[in-house]
Amino acid sequence: MVEITAQLLTRALHRAGESFTPNELAYLALTSKPEHPVRDRMAWVLHTDLPGCVTAREWSPNGDRARADLAILDESSHEALALVETKAAYTFDFAQEGQQTVEKYLRNIADDLDKARAAGGSRTRIFALLLLTHPASAPVQLTPVVKYGPEIARSLRRRSATDLADAAREIVGRRLNAMGSVRDGTLPAGTAFGIDVVINYFLVSAE
């Protein structure tokens, strides 16, 4: 039976990121949160690459409303080998320790891990994946096409893009480490609307 590890999932995540056409992921990340597109590409990579496994999206063991974002199942028994809950945010959401959005996202991630533990079995590995979009600059002209343009512009008036990214990564990494071991990295997303974009990711392996 395939062992589902954080290393395996991060490899699948990078392959998912590379599957987008140039600048597509930047466009998706600026016009809305990229949680579902990235999860769906990652699910396809896992579904096609893992022998003896199938990958489900919005999976529930009993067909109830509590569904896992992504589930890797044994192909024969449909036992859940791993459940992955995903969330997407922006670096401006984590600009300062203690702000309301920080606590909201962290509470939601903790709740997702609890939900996954309840849905899984004794051998199910539990993971949470946070995607953190970081625009390197604000839109030159505010437009409703860039969904969070005003928030991006406001956050970059207060500090440089580098300082904002560093602060957000520090806060996220430190707080998520309390929930389990964390692997982190970056997905290059390209450029859209004249804005360079990267997506920082944090994969929590729940203890």
pLDDT in tens, 40-96: 999 999 999 999 999 999 998 876 666 899 999 999 999 999 999 999 999 999 988
pTM: 0.94
pLDDT in tens, 82-141: 999 999 999 999 988 878 999 999 999 999 999 999 888 888 999 999 999 999 999 887
Name the band, by pLDDT with cuts 50, 70 and 90, for residue 1. Answer: low
Please, what's the b/e burial string for 117-140 (b: 16 or more CB within 10 A of its CB; e: otherwise)? eebbeeebbbbbbbbbbbbeebbe
Beta bridge partners of 53: 74
Residues 28 and 163: their CA atoms lie apart, in Å, by: 24
- Give the pLDDT of residue 96: 87
69 in helix, strand or coil? strand
The secondary structure element, H or E, covering residue 112 is: helix 100-119
* Furthest CA-CA distance within the chain: 55
- Give the pLDDT of residue 134: 97
Q: Residue with structure tokens 């109830």? A: 64
pLDDT in tens, 149-178: 999 999 999 899 999 999 999 999 999 999
Residues comprising the chain, all counted: 207
- What does the block give as tokens for 74? 């044994």
Q: What angle do CA 170, 130, 197 make, to 5 degrees?
A: 75
84 in helix, strand or coil? strand
